[in-house]
Chains A and B, each alone.
Chain A
């Protein structure tokens, strides 16, 4: 158990809908990262937050947004969902915003868009 929690574990929804994925980092970790794992793709970095502020953005679609709250939990919002958004979404946390420390991954949320 990495100490990172993600809810829900599974989500099935229809095209055009909006969903929110939630992540709680390990106790003491200030940085949260979101990743997408699609079929035949490696882990794709979406966005990073550090202590409530957006730190870095990857290949995140405009339909997707995220935020980190004062208690450091983070939410990833996916809207106008398309079939291609079906994927495993991971949240990871690390103690600081650098990459000199390992990231701890949550169990993931599997999103299926029908």
Chain B
């Protein structure tokens, strides 16, 4: 059973704060890592697909980095806004010949105005 851990479980910040959270995954047999954003009462929405060690991806105020050798990825949000409030999920894909995603339990972010 693959272990994908996300920390912290939840985070409460003020509007304008920058924040980051971590996804830890097995450092062997890495294939890809996905990040999703899941707003309450909606469905998960893809943010990034990361495949190479050292990958950095950016979408607006949100960026992510990847370290496959040590088995972690960071997600950063610069200048958090209330609309960033959501659960952020990472999903690890093992190089097993299959393309199945193993999700972490997510980091729930609440941004107060």
Contacts and interface: CB of A to CB of B under 8 A. Distances in A.
A100 B32 contact: yes
A48 B43 CA distance: 18
A101 B93 CA distance: 12
Interface residues of B, number: 23
A2 B36 CA distance: 13
B43 A107 contact: yes
Contact of A99 (B32, B43, B44): B32
Contact of B31 (A41, A44, A58, A99): A99
B102 A45 contact: yes
A42 B99 contact: no
Interface string A29-72: 00001000000011111001000000110100000000000000
Question: Interface of chain A, helix or strand or loop or mixed?
Answer: loop
Given A42-B104, A90-B43, A103 B34 contact: yes
Q: Which of A44, A56, A99, A105 counts the most chain B CB atoms within 10 A?
A: A99
Given A99-B34, A102-B34, A43 B44 contact: yes
Contacts of B93: 99
B34 A55 contact: no
A2 B45 contact: yes
A55 B101 CA distance: 13
Q: Count chain A CB atoms within 10 A of each CB in B49, B89, B106 and give the residue with the most.
A: B49
Contact of B51 (A48, A100, A105): A100
Contacts of B104: 42
B49 A48 contact: no
B100 interface: yes
B73 to A, nearest CB: 15
Given A2-B43, A100-B49, 19 more contacts: A2-B45, A41-B105, A42-B89, A42-B103, A42-B106, A55-B99, A56-B99, A58-B100, A92-B44, A99-B34, A100-B32, A102-B46, A103-B34, A103-B46, A103-B101, A104-B46, A105-B36, A105-B45, A108-B43
